[in-house]
Structure 1
Amino acid sequence: MSTDTKEKDMLRGGQFLVKQTSCDDVFTPEDLNEEQKMMKDSVKEFVDREIWPKKEEFEKKNYALTEEIMNKAAELGFLGVGVPEEYDGLGMGFVSTMLVCDYISGATGSIATAFGAHTGIGTLPILLYGSEEQKKKYVPKLATGEWFGAYCLTEPGAGSDANSGKTKAVLSEDGKHYNISGQKMWISNAGFASVFIVFARIEDDKNITGFIVEYDKDNPNGITFGEEEKKLGIHSSSTRQVFFNDTKVPVENMLSERGNGFKIAMNALNVGRIKLAAATIDAQRRVTDVAVKYANDRVQFDTPIAKFGAIKSKLAEMATSAYVGEAANYRAAKNIEDRISLRQEGGNSHAEAELKSFEEYAIECSILKVACSEDVQNCTDEGIQIFGGMGFSADTPMESAWRDARISRIYEGTNEINRMLAVGMLVKKAMKGHVDLLGPATKVADELTGIPSMEKPDYSELFAEEKEMIQKLKKVFLMVAGSAVQKFGPQLEEHQQLLLAAADILIEIYMAESGILRAEKNAKRFGEDIQKEQIAMAKLYLYHAVDTINQKAKEGIVSFAEGDEQRMMLMGLKRFTKYQNMPNIVELRNKIAEKLTSENKYCF
């Protein structure tokens, strides 16, 4: 098959909304090859040996322990999984990169943050944007853990508005170096990093510029640090302010071109977002695992609390979020990996292929970041609730898990920013012709004025109604977003609450569809009876997605439509969110919970 044919068959970023995906075309965790399964087992064994038993120690702000664990992870090659072999990495694909990030991050947020900051935003800007000389000099040291990396973007006055930073880079009179002066804050790994990716403004440039800045404690070169921040969670993750006072940086350490820093920052964050989503998955598995064991052991009224319906409901919902999060993360990861391979076959360098592929699926990266960061917070919150008063105690793992989870909704761009980005990027793709939203949106508008079919559909096949429901939910988004774009045009970005509602519809569609496709694919190959709990989880998640979409669409419609237009859209919404056969949610939850409690662990 030619490269052009493969590209035509491969969904572009955002196209999931307007095209139907076959379960045979998605990658699931059950599709891992033998090498990937060995890597997963190796990481799990490392975490169970080196990190999980020291969980209490991580709560004591033991930054040296984090550095020690990072060094041990480096010895096993975990820091260089996705780095090409020519720069001393393992040269594995993006699915393997996600796999390691997933399983190394579940025991404590301190390691999750240190690992993510180093392997993601601390290394990738050089790997993706650096000159060949820069890559050869820095990437091998970062891939092997000889040096650790940090990313200096945020400032006291520049958070979500990253391009407004005040840090200055002034060219020396002899033109050989830049003097960087300014203040950066919330810098992960600052306490033990040797390489900083620093963003600064040259003269009155519109956009910031990236620089590679080395740090040597014996020759600090104008770099000083604030005290370790006192934080709600991730207690052993080193987080400091970094001050630059006429820090000399050779001109050859400019990253990419002058004024290209904002682009570097945004593209690095695309990767950071999907990896952050992956980093929440094993935390959900482990929290669910611990909650199941406690619920089986804890006896009240002469009955294990795992037998109570209220607890069954919580356990089922926790497991469902983890299962669907896995499905969506590995689906997107394989799409990115395939796109990278396709671009390399077409003549792109490794760096060009990765850059363009991450950019292609930036919508999915934002969706996953939002969905999974909120799911892990809900999971840990319910974990505390199942433990009751003990859950509020620092002597149980739930308390620290809840605190660690909270940061994931803030870094790599707040969830509010990512929601608006997801919809904004989709609209831009439509304007460029990369995703045809106009055609499908027009068809939905025509359908609203047409007469609904009275023909009774055939739902005899597994997931027939659920897959039809997914297609109807896509019509909801096209109806709401299409009308909003038509009404507001370029001013749509000023209507933030409408964008947030539209984003929630988009997020629920992608996540619910991913869960359905995973369960369908596995039911086909392993048998429906073996997969009955997974089928139940996919149906349960979709049920909640329909509810959320119904609510958010109403909120959006009444915010901009009036009179007959509003009535017609609300009638369409009712039609598009109506089940023919409403699922028995209590039965679904009980089926999932009974599997969990009988296995005494998260078993999916």
Structure 2
Amino acid sequence: MSTEVAEKDILRGGQFLVKDTACEDVFTLEDLNEEQRMMRESTKEFVDRELWAHWERFEQKDYAYTEETMRKAGELGLLSIAVPEEFGGMGMGFVSTMLVCDYISGANGSFSTAFGAHTGIGTMPITLYGTEEQKQKYVPKLASGEWFGAYCLTEPGAGSDANSGKTKAVLSEDGTHYKITGQKMWISNAGFCSLFIVFARIGDDKNITGFIVENDPENGITLGDEEKKLGIHSSSTRQVFFNETKVPVENMLSERGNGFKIAMNALNVGRIKLAAACLEAQRRVINEAVNYASERVQFKTPIIEFGAIQAKIAEMATNCYVGESASYRAAKNIEDRIAIRMASGNTHQEAELKGVEEYAIECSILKVAVSEHVQQTSDEGIQIFGGMGFSADTPMESAWRDARISRIYEGTNEINRMLAVGMLVKKAMKGHVDLLGPATAVGEELMGIPSFDTPDYSELFAEEKDLIKRLKKVFLMVAGSAVQKFGPDLEKHQQLLMAASDILIQTYLVESTLLRTEKNVKRFGEESQKTQIAMTRLGLYRAVDVVSDKAKEAIVSFAEGDEQRMMLMGLKRFTKYTNHPNVVGLRTEIAKGVAENKGYTFDQIN
């Protein structure tokens, strides 16, 4: 473990809500080292050459080309970034794996899905839960791209309720193998994979069990036809049927009944990686939109000079900047936590599992936020292109369709919203995050007499920092009162949970963004960060609106009388600007910066 990691006070998952973070302690894209920058450039070169230049092939359901490009990615080592060196991988840190996942995913959703399904849920369960023999046998082939993996969890009657699957595993009379029978659906990479990670129930076990199953059609495995989908046209997606498929007992993954835990931990990693996978997609849509708007002339004027177009570009760029800031902050937190655990004696498997699990709240936050950002960005991309955007002859139309699945993958956004708050409450009950003390303090503040002193906001970001502290108080006020009122039954009040979650999400996003910009202003100078400062302020302005709206919705739905009036007055106090930003001016500044850069290039600091 590095001295730097040891000396930093790394927050535990969810603690961002109740503890301050110094800007020096967050990781940003501007912090990439030389090796990571070279890796990013080589990844982008591969994407430009093999994927972006042939985007039409992916729209024409060219499944063979998806497989071909996956093999090329394997030859370049891009499938092995997260795999330990002893199993043929590069053994790189979590930030580097995020970086490759980010920049390899921008060209189209078909390849992005194949890549994510293989490197994540296809390979990772064996790397993190497999025996030494299982890892030696399978992981090197998966890391090189000789074999591809797929993940069989979802069933017709078991989607979000993953542990309710009906697929059965029956031990043979001689005890040498299990016979798996059942139906799985929406299986990415099914058409060309070499092995499946399959979840099945043994007897009447409460929880499902994981198995490594080699893809052999002569062993009771049949595939359905390729699914007809809204987007990701060249991602192989099929149903998989198992009919007494024989699986050696030594191919059980982890312990009997541990499958649900494997599935949930795989989803935690998948969620933050999905956020990363939506970032470069946004950058490329922004770049295409800026290029088109600069060349498209109407009324003798390039449309990029019109305020209505500038507003769209500014919002798109701000979405991307906010998502980047939060995603890489969390990725480095995970990497540091893994390093701390390994230094304390954990194995690589234990350290990575616990390191990611620690930040499950942040993983859900990011999955929701960035998947919604990419949908909004691609939608505005179509609008900037106008009629051409609606045409399949331009990549905007396919970008919009491909983006839509990201709100469903890795647990729907509705599930993840409720999970984020639910996990935070559970952490508080275990004493891992002190919510009770700060929530009580907020309650006492509401009862007290507010200060009428004019705050000193003369320093850069002074008011923004104060606002973010107050947004945290809004969450503590709403969530604290809801927990007090409903107790364990809170999970039944899904609309309240989702409103509270939106407050939590916005708070994490804008704090991460401000910390990134503040760090870069200190080291690169304010002048070099003018556009970033504008994006930070615009992002915060939008967040305050969302927090105010969602908190009011929750308060009027569960509080009454004096309690309701007190909370609404508190909400007004906590979301009040002393100096409102010039929103039109911010958007104009951002659009100008993007146009001058000829696209989204806000992390290219040398």
Q: Report the TM range for the smaller structure's normalisation.
A: over 0.9
Counterpart for residue 345 of structure 2: 347
**Which residues of 2 match residues 435-454 of structure 1 at below 5 A?**
435-454=433-452
Residues 222 and 246 in structure 1, CA contact (< 8 A), matched pair in contact too: yes
Superposed CA deviations along residues 98-145 of structure 1, whole A, max 9, x for unmatched, are: 000000000000011000000001111111111111111111111111
Q: Does 1:366 align with 2:361?
A: no
Offset of 1:4 from its aligned partner?
Answer: 14
Whether the 8 Å CA contact 1:312–1:589 is kept in 2: the answer is: yes
Say if 2:205 is the partner of 1:205: yes
CA distance in 1, matches of 2:339, 2:20: 23
CA distance in 2, matches of 1:396, 1:103: 21
Q: Deviations over 1:416-465 (max 9, x none)?
A: 00000000000000000000000000000000011111222111211111
1:514 maps to 2:512: yes
Q: What's the CA shift for 1:595?
A: 1.4
Which residue of structure 2 lines up, in the alignment, with residue 427 of structure 1? 425
Q: Does residue 177 in structure 1 map to residue 177 in structure 2?
A: yes
Counterpart of 2:90 in structure 1 is: 90
Supply the distance in 2 between the matched residues of 1:586 and 1:547 (Cα, whole angstroms): 16
| Paired position in structure 2 for 1:21 | 21
Aligned partner letter, 1:400: S
Q: Count the aligned residue pairs.
A: 602
In the other structure, the counterpart of 1:72 is: 72
| Residue in structure 1 matched with residue 216 of structure 2 by the alignment | 216
Residue identity opposite 2:533 in structure 1: I
Who is 1:307 aligned against? 305
Q: Which amino acid aligns with 1:90?
A: M
**1:384-441 CA distance string (max 9 Å, x none):** 0000111000001100000000000001000000000000000000000000000000
Question: Mean alpha-carbon deviation: is it higher for 1-10 or for 546-555?
Answer: 1-10
**Could you say which residue in structure 1 is the equivalent of 2:166?**
166
SS in 1 for 2:267: helix
Instruction: Point out the more displaced range, 124-133 or 487-496.
Output: 124-133
Counterpart Cα distance in 2 of 1:596 and 1:440: 40
Could you tell me which residue of structure 1 aligns to residue 117 of structure 2? 117
Aligned-pair CA distance for 1:596: 1.4
**Which residue of 382, 385, 388 maps to 1:384?**
382
Alignment partner, residue 135 of structure 2: 135
Instruction: State the secondary structure of the residue aligned to 2:146.
Output: coil
Deviation at 1:6, TM superposition (A): 3.8
Aligned ranges 1:120-519 → 2 under 5 Å: 120-217=120-217, 220-519=218-517
Distance 2:591 2:112 in 1: 28
CA-CA distance at 1:503 after TM superposition: 0.4
Q: What is the DSSP-based 3-state SS (H/G/I as helix, E as strand, rest coil) of the residue aligned with 2:441? A: helix
Q: Which residue identity lines up with residue 534 of structure 1 in the other structure?
A: Q
Whole-angstrom distance in 1 between the partners of 2:530 and 2:596 = 15
- Contact 1:273 / 1:365 at 8 angstroms: preserved in 2? yes
Name structure 1 gaps, 5 residues minimum.
none
Are the equivalent residues in 2 in contact too, given 1:3–1:342 (CA < 8 A)?
Answer: no
1:33 corresponds in structure 2 to 33
Q: Secondary structure at the match of 1:179?
A: strand
Q: 1:81–1:90: 8 Å Cα contact kept in structure 2?
A: yes
Render the CA deviation track for 1:172-219: whole Å, top value 9, x for unaligned: 0000000000000000000011110000000011110000000135xx
1:223–1:243: 8 Å Cα contact kept in structure 2?
yes
- How far the C-alpha of 1:5 sits from its partner, in A, is 9.9
Structure 2, unaligned runs of 5 or more: none
**TM-score for the superposition, normalised by structure 1:** 0.99
Q: Match of 1:15, as an amino acid?
A: Q
Q: Deviations over 1:500-545 (max 9, x none)?
A: 0000000000111111111111111111011000000011000000
Change (3 A) 1:7 1:186: farther
- Verify the 8 A CA contact 1:196 1:212 in the aligned structure 2: yes
How far 1:600 sits from its partner (Å)? 1.9
Q: Name the CA distance, whole Å, in 2 between partners of 1:442 and 1:165.
A: 42
Q: What percentage of residue pairs aligned between the two structures are identical?
A: 78
Distance 2:132 2:2 in 1: 30
Residue identity opposite 2:101 in structure 1: C
Structure 1: distance between partners of 2:24 and 2:255:
42
Structure 1 vs Structure 2 CA RMSD: 1.3
Counterpart Cα distance in 1 of 2:261 and 2:112: 25
Distance 1:4 1:202, change over 3 A: farther
Residue equivalent to 2:99: 99
- AA matched with 2:578: Q
What amino acid is the match of 1:542? L
Indicate if the aligned counterparts of 2:268 and 2:360 stay in contact, CA closer than 8 A.
yes
Contact 1:3 1:345 in 2 (8 A): no
Question: What is the CA–CA distance in structure 1 between the aligned matches of 2:528 and 2:253, rounded to whole Å?
Answer: 52
Of 584, 592, 595 in structure 2, the residue corresponding to residue 594 of structure 1 is 592
CA contact (8 A) 1:47 1:104 kept: yes
Q: 2:5 touches 2:340 (CA, 8 Å); kept in 1?
A: no
Deviates more, 1:449-458 or 1:82-91: 449-458
Amino acid at match of 1:493: E
Counterpart CA distance in 1 for 2:184 and 2:5 is 47
* Alignment check: 8 A CA contact 1:3 1:346 kept: no
